C-alpha cells in the first residue's frame, strides 16, 4: 500500500500543468479552503492551490456543510483570474466536475457521473462536491475566481448515519489513489478544459459534460427559489443550462437552483 503523504512536493511531482498547482500550499487544518484563499491568499499567482488535511467549516452550495474529516478525503481550492465574462463563470464548475470524472477514470478505472450542476456521483452516491466563488471587480468581469473541490476517498457511514445512502467514497469500489496523485490528476485534467473555455471553445467542455450527466431522460425534482416541482431532464443547452420539461409540457432552462434524483 502506497503511503498517502499529502505534500506540495508530492503533488508537484505528478503535475503536467503549465500554471495550476505550480504554487501550492498544504495546511494541516483550515476552516474552508475557499474561505482561506479569499481571506489570505488572494494575491498569490493564478493557479495557486491550497490543500487542507482537514476542514473545520467545509462549505458546499446553498450554504450546506461539506464533511471534511482528516485522511478520508481530498479538500482543495485553486485561484483563477479568467478572461471570461461573468455569464461564463458557471462553466468553471462544469469544467471542475468533468476534471474530477476524468481523474477518477484515469486513476481508478471507474466511471463517475455528474448530477447537474456541481456534484459528482459514483455508484449512485455523492463522491464529490464543487463550490465556485467569484470576487467581482467590475459589472462584467470578476477579479478572481476560487474553485473548491472536495472528494471522498472514504466515507464513514457510522460517523455520519444521516448521510448513509446519500454520500459515498472511492473506497466503496476500489483502493483509492493517494490524495497527492488525485489532486494532480484533477489539476492536469482541468487546465486544458480551462484553456479551451478561455479561448472561446466552450463546446469542447459542454460535450464532455453532457456525456457524463446522470439525469438526462430521467424524472427529477427541481428546486428553485421560486418553488419546487417535478420535471423530466431533456438536454443541456449551449450555455450550460439544463433543459427540463414539466408535467404541463412546458420547457424551462435552469441556470440556477438544483435538482434531486431518486435512484
Say what the pLDDT of residue 15 is: 98
60 confidence band (pLDDT: 50, 70, 90): low
Q: pLDDT confidence of 216, banded at 50, 70, 90?
A: very high
Q: What is the 3-state secondary structure (H, E, C) of the chain?
A: CCCCCCCHHHHHCCCCCCCCCCCEEEECCECCHHHHHHHHCCCCCCCCEEEECCECCCECHHHCECCCCCCCEEEEEEEECCCCCHHHCHHHHHHHHHHHHHHHHHHHCCCCEEECCCEEEECCEEEEEEEEEEEECCCCCEEEEEEEEEEECCCCCCCCHHHCCCECCHHHCCCCCCHHHHHHHHHHHHHHHHHHHHCCCHHHHHHHHHCCECCCCCEEEEEECCEEEEEEEEEECCCCCEEEEECCCCEEEECCCEEEECC
The confidence score (pLDDT) of residue 196 equals 95
Residue 1 has pLDDT above 80, yes or no: no
8-210 to CATH, choices 2.60.120.10, 4.10.110.10, 3.90.1170.50, 3.30.930.10: 3.30.930.10
Query: Residue 21 — left, alpha, or beta (φ > 0 → left; ψ -120 to 50 → alpha)?
Result: left
Comparing 53-67, 114-128, 131-145, the range with the smallest average pLDDT is: 53-67
Q: What is the per-residue pLDDT across 133-191, written as a single tens digit (0 to 9) for each?
A: 998 877 777 889 999 999 999 988 877 777 788 899 999 999 999 999 999 999 999 99
- Average the pLDDT over 38-48 and give the result: 95
Q: Does the domain spanning 219-261 belong to CATH 2.40.40.20?
A: no
Flag whether pLDDT at 263 surpasses 70.
no
The domain ranges of the chain are 8-210, 219-261
Instruction: Express as a percent the part of the chain with pLDDT over 90.
Output: 77
Amino acid at each position: 500500500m502506497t503511503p498517502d503523504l499529502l505534500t506540495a512536493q508530492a503533488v508537484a511531482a505528478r503535475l503536467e500543468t503549465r500554471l495550476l498547482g505550480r504554487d501550492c500550499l498544504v495546511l494541516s487544518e483550515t476552516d474552508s479552503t475557499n474561505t482561506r484563499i479569499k481571506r489570505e491568499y488572494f494575491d498569490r499567482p493564478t493557479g495557486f492551490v491550497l490543500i487542507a488535511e482537514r476542514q473545520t467549516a467545509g462549505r458546499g452550495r446553498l450554504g450546506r456543510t461539506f464533511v471534511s474529516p482528516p485522511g478520508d478525503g481530498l479538500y482543495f481550492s485553486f485561484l483563477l483570474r479568467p478572461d471570461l465574462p461573468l455569464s461564463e463563470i458557471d462553466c468553471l464548475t462544469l469544467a471542475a466536475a468533468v476534471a474530477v470524472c476524468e481523474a477518477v477514470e484515469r486513476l481508478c478505472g471507474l466511471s463517475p457521473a455528474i448530477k447537474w450542476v456541481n456534484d459528482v456521483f459514483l455508484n449512485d452516491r455523492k463522491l464529490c462536491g464543487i463550490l465556485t466563488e467569484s470576487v467581482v471587480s467590475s459589472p462584467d468581469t470578476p477579479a478572481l475566481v476560487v474553485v473548491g473541490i472536495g472528494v471522498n476517498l472514504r466515507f464513514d457511514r457510522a460517523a455520519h448515519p444521516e448521510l448513509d445512502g446519500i454520500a459515498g467514497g472511492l473506497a466503496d469500489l476500489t483502493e483509492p489513489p493517494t490524495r497527492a496523485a488525485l489532486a494532480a490528476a484533477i489539476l492536469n485534467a482541468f487546465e486544458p478544459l480551462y484553456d479551451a473555455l478561455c479561448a472561446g471553445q466552450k463546446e469542447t467542455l459542454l460535450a464532455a459534460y453532457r456525456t457524463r450527466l446522470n439525469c438526462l431522460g430521467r424524472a427529477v425534482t427541481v428546486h428553485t427559489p421560486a418553488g419546487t416541482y417535478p420535471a423530466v431532464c431533456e438536454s443541456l443547452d449551449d450555455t450550460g443550462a439544463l433543459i427540463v420539461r414539466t408535467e404541463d409540457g412546458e420547457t424551462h432552462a435552469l441556470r440556477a437552483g438544483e435538482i434531486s434524483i431518486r435512484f
